[in-house]
Amino acid sequence: MLLVVAAVVLVLLAATGGWLAHRAQQVRSNLESSMSLLPELQASVLKRDPEGASVVTAQLEQHTTAARAAGTDPLWKAAGLIPFVGQNFRAVSEVTVSADDVVSRAVVPMVEKFATLHWNSLTPVSGRIDTGPLADMSPTLSAAATTVELSYERLDGIDSAELLPQIAEPLQDAVDALDEVRVPIENASRASQLLPSMLGAEGPRNYLVLVQNSAEIRATGGISGALAVLTVEDGRISLTDQGSASELGRFDPPLAVDAEQEEIYSYRMAAFMQSVNITPDFPTAASTAQRMWEDRHPESLIDGVIALDPVVLANILWATGPVELGDFGDPAVNALLAETSLPAALDSTNVVPTLLSDVYAQIEEPALQDEYFAAVAGKVFGALTNVQGDGTQLIEALVTSAEQGRLYLWSATSEEQDLLAQTDLAGAALGPTVGGAAFGVYFNDGTGAKMDYYIRRTVQLVKTCPGDGYSLYTVKVTLTNTAPADAATSLPEYVTGGGDFGVDPGRVKTNTVGYGPAQSLLQQARINGADVPVGSFAHGNRPVGILTTELGPGETTTLEMDFSKVVQDAEPVLDITPTVQDPADVLLPSEGLQSCA
């Protein structure tokens, strides 16, 4: 009898093992089929083929449903209780559940919305953006973002060290895939929540636009010489006012600002519109600019602030095509321009050198330079609000500008700012977007001129392990003055500064600001390998160092700041001031990113 029982048990174990192997094959084949469909789905979306996307999504859902059924089979769940190997079965179950959740609760609803979406409604047509589709998409995008985030957290929380390699590697692939898409989906969700109200769906909004001039560098990009006010109501955008920072004059006494930042960056950030952004914290710069404008224009209340630089204008012109400058509306400016060789039309290839170099060589009067700058910005805004044909290039241009750190946005409405604070558009030096091993390198002009057009920069992080259980990071910066050797005489005085602020013509003075991660320490600094004193401050719980250099034409210098006691293990993130250079040419690959544990 005992032999019969034993034989029956062996048969049952063999059958069970065979069934689990069958289920494992079903999981594997269906998940592999799902992965093979993703490029096809992406291609359908990029081609704006909703019918094709719907067909692929239906196939995708069939496969993830089948994988989930196999991975949550009662016998499979029971196998998850087996000592020593059960964790592998449980991990597979989590992967199948997450895959099916993402497809059924995120991909399918978004593709259904995609099928009814009119893409051109997301870009300005005849000066107006239809906010209805954005508001309609918001619940779907919010639910999708939540599903993806929860699935990511669920899989990322599994201890892969206890799993077989055959399970651990696909699990990590799934985690990486979710990590890659969760930020874009969350950003799209925030945008759908923010844009309708910010585009005036609930009433008119006024936005102060700071056109940053990178030829005179500031921490967020450049001096805010040209100003404009955009009014938005029910998606309709109009340019309602223009001006310049010099017209606002000096604020005496300075406005009240954060005392900690004022200690670092001086009273100038609160006394001159041109210097509100010598702090890299854009919310501080924006709120100060808002108060300055309203002080001088009490009839013009500002609901938000936008900052951009000439490269953003170039990106927009890449999408819209060239703009004819034509009549500037000011006889004096028209007459002056008639005597110059400045281009009659601006496009993506000539707008940056025109605004940051050529205009100074051909227009000597600073006030007229500001007028020209503001007028050009107005023409580009006009092109932006009247996009002809396919508007996706405009969306791509704005996304690229934001990714390069050239486009900032601040809202005076606290609920909107709370959402913006979670995005790169916020440009914040503190807060949720600067957690982990966050570093920053920012530049402020000390020449009082427009010589930064000629400065070339590189920035790099170098990690070492000093043996105390912490990491030490060195922020390494190179600056090169590429101005012509005879810059002192060949360049206009307005460009060189003419020595008015104690810097000889042709030379460039730069204040380089380094930020370390929260709770780290600024240990020491070097210039060209020699130890030097460094201005040491704190912004919130982040250490801040400032080094000042001065370069003649053709000269190069290397600055280093060491930040020690870095406890964060995450891969470091380095934020930099956007300049006339491509960020890819400025940011060099980090070195020594080994663990110091």
What tens digit of pLDDT does each residue of 95-104 get? 888 888 888 8
pLDDT tier for residue 45 given thresholds of 50, 70 and 90: confident
pLDDT band at 28 (very low <50, low <70, confident <90, very high): confident
Provide φ and ψ at 52, rounded to 5°.
Answer: -65, -40
Residue 434 has a pLDDT of 84
Parallel/antiparallel/unpaired status of strands 542-551 and 236-244: unpaired
Note whether 449 and 523 are same-domain residues: yes
- pLDDT at position 8, please? 36
pLDDT 10s digits, 53-64? 888 888 888 988
CA neighbours within 13 Å on the CB side: how many for 502? Answer: 5
- Which sign, positive or negative, has the C-alpha torsion 314, 316, 322, 325? negative
What's the pLDDT score for residue 115? 67
Q: 400: how many CB neighbours lie within 10 A of its CB?
A: 16
Per the structure, how many domains does the chain have? 3
Residue 84 scores a pLDDT above 80: no
Q: Using 50, 70 and 90 to split pLDDT, how confident is the model at 122?
A: low
Residue 1: per-residue pLDDT: 39
Q: How would residue 590 be classed by pLDDT, with cut points 50, 70 and 90?
A: very high
pLDDT digits (tens, 9 = 90+) for 481-524: 999 999 999 999 999 999 999 999 999 999 999 999 999 999 99
Evaluate if residue 342 carries a pLDDT over 60: yes
- Residue 317: inside a domain: yes
Check residue 98 and give its pLDDT: 84
Does 389 reside within a domain? Answer: yes
Q: Domain boundary residue among 382, 403, 424?
A: 403
pLDDT at 429 over 90: yes
Specify whether 240 is located in the same domain as 367. Answer: yes
Instruction: With a cut of 70, say whether residue 16 has pLDDT above it.
Output: no
How far is the C-alpha of 266 from the C-alpha of 163, rounded, in Å?
A: 56
Say whether both 224 and 182 belong to one domain. no
Q: Which residue has the higher pLDDT, 105 or 331?
A: 105
What sections of 300-353 are H helices per DSSP? Answer: 310-320, 331-338, 351-353
CATH number for 486 = 2.60.40
Query: Residue 564: inside a domain, yes or no?
Result: yes
Q: Are residues 375 and 488 in the same domain?
A: no
State residue 488's pLDDT score. 96
Kindly report the three-state secondary structure assignment for every residue of 222-264.
CEEEEEEEEEEECCEEEEEEEEEHHHHCCCCCCCCCCHHHHHH
Section 79-91 average pLDDT: 80
Residue 412 falls within a domain, yes or no?
A: no
Domain boundary pick from 386, 403, 420: 403
Task: Kindly report, residue by residue over 543-558, the tens digit of the pLDDT.
Answer: 999 999 999 999 999 9
User: What's the pLDDT score for residue 6?
Assistant: 36
Q: What are 271-303's pLDDT values in tens digits?
A: 999 999 999 999 999 999 999 999 999 999 999
Whether residues 318 and 186 share a domain: the answer is: no
Please tell me whether residues 449 and 571 are part of one structural domain: yes
* Partners of residue 548 on adjacent β-strands: 511
Rounded distance between C-alpha atoms, residue 412 and residue 122, angstroms: 24
Give the model's confidence band at 121: pLDDT under 50 very low, under 70 low, under 90 confident, else very high.
low
Percent of the chain with pLDDT over 90: 49
Please identify, among 157, 176, 198, the residue that sits at the C-terminal boundary of a domain.
198
Return the SS3 of 499.
coil
How crowded is the C-beta side of 562, counted as CA atoms within 13 Å?
17
Cβ-contact 77, 53 below 8 angstroms: no
The answer to whether 96 and 85 have CB atoms below 8 angstroms apart is no
User: Is residue 221 within 8 Å of 212, Cβ to Cβ?
Assistant: yes
User: CA end-to-end span of the chain, whole Å?
Assistant: 60
More confident residue, 21 or 468: 468
Residue type, 286: A
The pLDDT of residue 33 is 82
Residue 400 · residue 390 · CB < 8 Å: no
Give the pLDDT mean for 527-532. 97
% the chain with pLDDT above 70:
95
CA angle, 123 then 125 then 131, to 5°? 55
* CATH number, domain containing residue 382: 3.40.630
Residue at 233 is within a domain? yes
Q: Among the residues of 72-200, which ranges form H helices?
A: 74-79, 86-102, 108-116, 132-156, 165-198
Q: Which helix (H) or strand (E) holds 324?
A: strand 323-324
- Whether residues 169 and 68 fall in one domain: yes
Q: Which residue has the tokens 């993402």?
A: 102
Which is it for the CA torsion 312, 318, 320, 321, positive or negative?
positive
Q: Report how far residue 406's alpha carbon sits from residue 411's, in angstroms, rounded to the nearest whole number.
A: 17
The confidence score (pLDDT) of residue 118 equals 60
Residue 147 pLDDT > 80: yes
In a domain, 10, yes or no: no
207-263 confidence digits (pLDDT tens): 999 999 999 999 999 999 889 999 999 989 898 998 899 999 999 999 999 999 999
Amino acid at 521: L
Boundaries of domain holding 335: 205-403
- Token code pair at residue 96: 């199948």
The verdict on residue 247 lying in a domain is yes
Q: What confidence tier does 77 reach under pLDDT thresholds 50, 70, 90?
A: confident
Task: Give, for 290, the enclosing helix (H) or strand (E).
Answer: helix 282-296
- E strand segments, 446-591: 455-464, 471-481, 508-515, 521-527, 530-532, 535-539, 542-551, 556-566, 573-576
Same-domain pairing of 477 and 357:
no
Model pLDDT for residues 171-189, shown as the tens digit of each residue: 788 888 888 888 888 888 8
Q: Which has more pLDDT, 413 or 385? A: 413
Structure tokens at 153: 């957290």
300 and 397 assigned to the same domain: yes
pLDDT score for 468: 87
Regarding whether 464 and 346 lie in a shared domain, the answer is no
Q: With respect to residue 426, please indicate whether it lies within any of the assigned structural domains.
A: no
| Dist. CA 255–CA 257, nearest whole Å | 6
More confidently predicted of 117 and 35: 35
My answer on whether 102 and 124 are in the same domain is yes
DSSP for 388-450, written as a single string: -S--HHHHHHHHHHHHTT--EEEESSHHHHHHHTTSGGG--SSSGGG-SSEEEEEEEE-SSSS
In contact, 558 and 529? CB cutoff 8 Å: yes
DSSP string, 474-489: EEEEEEEE-S-TTHHH
Opening angle at CA 119, ends 118 and 123, nearest 5:
120
471/499 same-domain check: yes
Contacts of residue 2, defined as CB under 8 A and 6 or more positions apart, other chains included, come to none
